[in-house]
Structure formats: structure tokens, C-alpha cells
Structure 1
Amino acid sequence: TGQCGAAGGSPGSRARRAAGSALPRSARPRVPSSQLGFAQGVCNALSLEIKASPKVRAFIGEQVSLKCSFKSSSPITESLTVDWTYRPLTGGQMETIFHYQSVPYPTTVGKFKDRISWIGNVARGDASVAIESPVMSDNGTFICSVKNPPDVYHNIPQTVLIVTERGLSFQLTSAVLLSILVFLPSIIVVVLLLVRMGRKFGVLKEKKKSGCKKSSIEVSDE
């Protein structure tokens, strides 16, 4: 975080550092190494790491989960907050659609009213939400923001939601595809054998019919 850097600070502090650097090394005030280590540790602690899926695909009318996980160096407290914001694919301003602090507060207005719900668990570092009955107009960018004071600085991962129509009534899973590849050749072989046997049986039947001769008995009355 830039605010923890040694190059920052107010003009007065920068002037005092410049004046101190002009003094001889022996005359400069010495700062105990324990204090320096404590300051660096505090700076490193004020940060959060957030992970979210860069792209999520959904189908019209089927629930979709927006995954978000975080890692904080500070213990989880009631001060932790989670905010989900949304910007449409067509552009525009970001709008907050979900807020969490001890309990979930889904939006009560807008297109996601009564359609967004909390499925996360902050104790496990999970800040995920779900959207019910997505439509194509929901396509856009979602941002998950987490603050756990004193950890408030973090990266800003973005999730792009793409909602489409489901083309098939079922999905070809890897197991189904493997079964088709294994059993399809066997089925073809069996069908070919049945066709061949049927033709052979037909030929034998025709030969049998042509080989039989009808006998006629002539009865004469004299």
C-alpha cells in the first residue's frame, strides 16, 4: 500500500527527513530497530487478498453463483464488511447490489431486487453470492470488495457474467461422452451383423422355395 511507503508523508515530515539527512551520520538520531520492525509489520498487515472468478457463464432461468474468497491477516470481527457492485455490459456507473456486515443486506431496489442472496461464510473467507433466474440483461461486471479493519486495502478483482440460452436440454458430460465413444462402435457392429444375417436368411429362403417342385395327380375315370 502506498500509504505505508517511506516516500510518503506530509511536507513537514519530508522536511524533517531532509534536515536529518544533512547532519553527519554520528549526529543523526538513531531509531531502535525494534520500532522499525514494528512499523514495517503494521504496514504489511494492512492488506487483504481477494480472489474471484474472472468470467462466469450462466443460463437463462438457472441460478448462478458468483464466487469470491478473501484472506485477511487480522482476525475476523463484526466490523468486517462485504460489498458487491455491478456495472451493466452497456456501461454506466457502478451500483451497490449487496452489502454484508454480520448479516446480509441484499438490495431492495433495482433489477436484482429479491434475486440476489448470500451463500458465503466469512469465518471461512467466503464472500460469495448467488443470483436467481438470471436474464441476458444481467450481463455485466461484478466486483467483490471486502474490508476487515484494520485490513482495508486490497486488490479489486472483477467478474464478468455472461448469460446465454441453453441450446440443449442436457449437457454432454465427460462420462456420457466416454460411454458414447465406447459403446457406439459395438452397436454399429451388432447392427451390421444383424443386417448381414437377415440378408443371408432371405437368400436361403428364396433358394428353398425355388428348389421345391409341385406334383400333380391326374385322376381319370374310365
Structure 2
Amino acid sequence: MTRDRSIDELRHTLQSNLEEFERVRAIINDMLFLARADQGERATGLVEVSLAAEVSRTLEFLEIPLEDAQVRAVSHGDARAFVNTSLFGHALSNLVMNAIQHCAPGATIDVSIMREHGRIRIAVANPGDAIAPNVMAHLFDRFYRAESSRTNSRENHGLGLAIVKAVAEMHRGTVSATSEHGINTFAFSVARFGNEHRAMSEDALLPNAPGVPIGAGVRQAVTGSNASS
């Protein structure tokens, strides 16, 4: 405001301000969400859904980022669980976006749904550089970024994986990460039943053996721009 500027200069400045305000708003919202999770808030509005359908919906929503990165995503397995679909989609989106950012063009991101230790585990795996053990121990910590020098570090304010952990805990689940044989896998789990259904027998309703993909014959794929390769 101290000197005359052209309309184009003012428009560019205002647009830059709006983008920064949006980034700050997202950080504040994420911090408020994590604060509620810290107070023991549980997921509400739970509905019984096919997790394969929810995964397919999330991958469809991320079709443009997948195409831009020239990677594709496939999903397999299925199970029904009581979840807050908005929170579930948020957690899965964070994991898939994390995989996209660490994939080379032409790579495939694998999303799997499995029963594990009385819960349903959703894992997102992608080929990538090995992750050091000292880094692995902090991946789900807030504001932790293993590669602060990445070109997109301003957009990644280090809360994405912390939110995944919070969503899992709000659904009485856990998180995990592994880096083996050139494949990095990030996963979260959700309880099969909502709190009001805990008295029901999970074993009776989930006959599959632990660690065996549920409905492994059901396979869905959302491809990026190199799907034909």
C-alpha cells in the first residue's frame, strides 16, 4: 500500500495472501482436531460400511494427484466395519498422498484391507528408498518431517501421519510402518465394531484367519496417466 501497483500485481498479492491464510487455517483445524483426540474423543456417527467401497471412493477422489505424479493405485481385500466415513477417508487420503510424494513416476501404490488381531488393517504400500530406523520411530509424531528440504515441505506441515494415528485411536485402532525390500508400508487399523457393538463376538462374524486378506478376490484399481504401461 506504500506505492502504486498495477491491478495484476495487486491480484497476485491477494492470491498469495489467500493461499497462505488457507494453509494456516488447515494447520489450525488439524491442531484442534488433534487436541480433541488427545482428550480421548472417540469417533461418532459410525456407520457399517464396506471398507473396499470407502477405499475406492478415496482413490477416485485422488485421481488427479495420481495422474499428475504418473503413478497408479490398486486396492484389494474387503471387510465391513463401523467407521466415521469422513475420518476414515481423511486418514486414508493422508497415507495415499504420502505414498504419492515418495513414489517415482510409473510406480504402483498398493492399498490392502486385512483382518489383524481382532481389528481391520488398512495398509498403503509403495516402492521407495529405505527408511532409517531412527526416522521410523518418529514418523507419526506431530510436525515431524524426515525430509525438510523437499520442495513441497511448506505444504506438508508434518501433521498428516499424526492425524492418521489420531483417527485410528478414535476407532480403537493402531498405526504401524515398515520399510523392507524396497517397499515402504504405512498402515492404520479400526475396530470391527463401534462401542455399542463391542459385546458381540468378532470371531463369529469374521471367520477369516488373522493376517489373511478378507475378500481377496475382490480387486479394484484406480489408475494414473501411465495405466497402460
Please report the TM-score for the alignment, with normalisation by the length of structure 2: 0.24
Say which one has the larger Rg. Answer: 1
Name the one with the larger helix percent: 2
Greater percentage in strand: 1
Answer 1 or 2: higher relative contact order, Cα 8 Å, separation at least 6. 2
The TM-score, its normalising length taken from structure 1, stands at: 0.25
